Amino acid sequence: MEKHELIIIGGGPAGLTAAIYAGRSRLDTLLIEKAAVGGRILMSEMIENYPGFPGGVSTLELMGRMENQVKELGVKIVSEEVLGLDPAALKVNTGAGVYAAEAIILASGARPRKLNVPGETQYTGRGVSYCATCDAPFFKGKTVVIVGGGDAMAEEALYLSRFAASVSLVHRRSELRASPILQERIRQDKKIHFILNSVVSRINGNIKVESVTLKDLLSGNERDFSCDGIFVYIGQEPETGYLKGKIDLDEAGFIRAGENMSTSAAGIFACGDCRKKGFYQVVNACGDGAVAADAAYKYVTGTVKNGVK
State the catalytic residues: 131, 134-135
Question: Closest Cα partner for 249 from 260, 239, 259?
Answer: 239
Task: Report DSSP letters for 243-259, one per residue.
Answer: GTTTS-B-TTSPBP--T
Q: What's the alpha-carbon Rg for the chain, to the nearest Å?
A: 21
With the CA atoms of 151, 154, 156 and 157 taken in that order, what torsion angle do they form, in degrees rounded to the nearest 10?
Answer: 170
Secondary structure class of 10 (helix, strand, coil):
coil
Q: How far apart are CA 47 and CA 104, in angstroms?
A: 28
- What is the SS3 assignment for 159? helix
Residues 157 and 224: their CA atoms lie apart, in Å, by 21
